[in-house]
Structure 1
Amino acid sequence: MSKIKSGKHYPKDLIAQVINDYAGHVRPAKQLADYYGIPYNTVKYWIKKYNKNGMDALLKPRSGGKYITYDPSFKLRVTEYWLEHPEVSSSQISEMFHASRGAIRSWRKIYLEQGADALRKEMRGKSKNMKNGKRKIMAEQAEMSDSPQKRIETLEKQVRYLQMENDYLKKLNALVQEKEHSQKPKKQRL
């Protein structure tokens, strides 16, 4: 079997085949993961979900194919619970709060990188990340006319964007260093 990338959605027929092989005692979970080229943790998650809720729960479409929107206070509660209980896995948190593992991991990352206020904000729609800004600048460069004034305006926009990106990266770097520094064990003097 060919290796399937982690973090992707898997076809329902593949999930069903893996579970049927497991339930029919064809192979143990670890060998199924190797055979189908699926991460072992994913296979374990499917098996656990199958054992708890059956095949229908494992294969049913998520909320009719629509995305679920969670209340910001719920996101904050889930994330803070997980941070207070680091020994609990994302799968366990997912089961406890009935939210997807991916969403919970995403909330935790946002909380750690941007703080609690970022979780309180409604963040729907297309992400306005820096990569999109870079593409826009490159498109403006390509469309730049021979007009010197237009060229100056475009270059000034690029400078402002790059300054904002630089400031963001500096702040992010400072937060990472601060976090690393706070996690280092302090030496005790005798």
Structure 2
Amino acid sequence: MSKHSAQFKRAVVEDYLSGKYGGSGAVAHRHGVDHGTVRIWVAAWRAHGEAALQKKYSRYDGQFKLKVLQFMHTKALSCPETAAIFDIRNPSVISVWKRRYDSGGMQALEPRPRGRSVEQPKSSAPPVSSKSDEARTKEELLKELNYLRMENAYLKKLDALIRSESPTAQRKKRK
């Protein structure tokens, strides 16, 4: 995400194109940005005009990503040059696409679902057996007994903690 406004970018590009401040290095120094950024903005401006400097939120499908990579390969272009031609605001994303394609093929270029995956919470309780107590093994019964003892101890400690904090909270309110 770019932290510079379209108006700022336009001013930088106009200063570069006017030539009165020198090359990209001098214009970059004047505005406090990297000279490579100036070159990227100018290339985007030349290829797409005013729209290239506006914010853009895009999601690209796998076919588009493959087309970009093939074009970059056949024309022997750099990532910033290719990004300017296809109006991709972040040139480094093209190198990410290339790495993914090289390691996983076309399938790696397909968009992945966003956000966290939905997982069912894992219960800490032992699975309830459908067998009767007589049919269960000694090991299964001991495992359940141990679990129930731990659960009981935890609940007793929690109850004691709540009871010990309760009078303290009441004394603090009175003051």
TM-score by length of structure 2 reads: 0.51
| Cα distance, 1:44 vs structure 2 | 0.9
Which of 114, 133, 141 pairs up with 1:125?
114
Taking only aligned residues, the RMSD between alpha carbons, in angstroms, comes to: 3.2
* Counterpart Cα distance in 1 of 2:150 and 2:76: 60
* Counterpart Cα distance in 2 of 1:127 and 1:31: 45
* Counterpart Cα distance in 2 of 1:80 and 1:23: 31
Identical-residue share of aligned pairs (%): 22
Aligned counterpart, 1:20: 14
Please give the residue correspondences for 1:24-35 in structure 2 after superposition, counting only pairs within 5 Å. Answer: 24-28=18-22, 29-35=24-30
Aligned counterpart, 1:42: 37
* Counterpart Cα distance in 1 of 2:52 and 2:85: 17
| Cα distance, 1:34 vs structure 2 | 2.4
* Counterpart Cα distance in 1 of 2:29 and 2:78: 23
Which of 76, 81, 103 pairs up with 1:92?
81
2:118 matches 1:107: no
| Cα distance, 1:86 vs structure 2 | 7.8
Larger Rg: 2
Question: Runs of 5+ in structure 2 lacking a partner?
Answer: 118-148, 152-175
* Counterpart Cα distance in 2 of 1:8 and 1:59: 10
TM-score by length of structure 1 reads: 0.48
| Cα distance, 1:60 vs structure 2 | 2.9
